A and B are shown apart, each in its own frame.
Chain A
Amino acid sequence: AQKVTQAQTEISVVEKEDVTLDCVYETRDTTYYLFWYKQPPSGELVFLIRRNSFDEQNEISGRYSWNFQKSTSSFNFTITASQVVDSAVYFCALSERVTGQAGTALIFGKGTTLSVSS
């Protein structure tokens, strides 16, 4: 079963529109972390936010905001007043214990490609 589901494969919006990227996760751990990464055309994944499972407060950073709801296992990402520079692939990820190992690893969703046109 997929651990991190990003149901939206591609989204296209016009500049200044608000857009929400959905992320639903699945885990048996009581302590876990959720992340969003941005991958611009240059290729590297850029860290946007980390949220631990005990902190359900929503967070706002400039035009970005995140809505974490444990009851629905969702961690959605909203961009307000989108800009062309927001065009990228956005990945949601979950840190999860690795079976048989002491450490944890990042499990990624398939990503959502956001295209913002002017």
Chain B
Amino acid sequence: ETGVTQTPRHLVMGMTNKKSLKCEQHLGHNAMYWYKQSAKKPLELMFVYSLEERVENNSVPSRFSPECPNSSHLFLHLHTLQPEDSALYLCASSQAHRADYGYTFGSGTRLTVV
């Protein structure tokens, strides 16, 4: 069983809806990440949180809003999305804000925007 849990596994939402993706890790890591995986594209790093503070925002549209209430939980709040936002959203964590030891990934949320 993965140490990083993402819910829901699948989500279908209309363009006017508001929904949230949840990520939880029980590994004692203090950095968490959101990645977007679209078809035929590399994984795109969206947000980085280190010690509950956002340290990176890779020009992500404001319709995506992250939240990290504590070092174990990470949310991605979604509103007024576009069909091109349909993708697999992956959460990951690491011991510190360093990729040197790799990340532990969750199974992802498959998002479909209709």
Contacts and interface: CB of A to CB of B under 8 A. Distances in A.
Interface in B11-65: 31, 33, 40-43, 45, 48, 50, 55-56
Given A44-B105, A45-B105, A47-B104, A95 B98 contact: yes
Nearest to A110: B42
A35 B102 contact: yes
Interface stretch (A13-21, A71-79, A99-107): A99-107
Chain A interface, >50% SS class? strand
B107 A43 contact: yes
Interface residues of A, number: 28
Given A103-B97, A107-B42, 20 more contacts: A33-B100, A33-B102, A43-B88, A43-B107, A43-B110, A44-B2, A44-B105, A44-B106, A50-B100, A52-B100, A98-B48, A101-B97, A104-B99, A106-B45, A106-B99, A106-B102, A106-B103, A108-B42, A109-B42, A110-B41
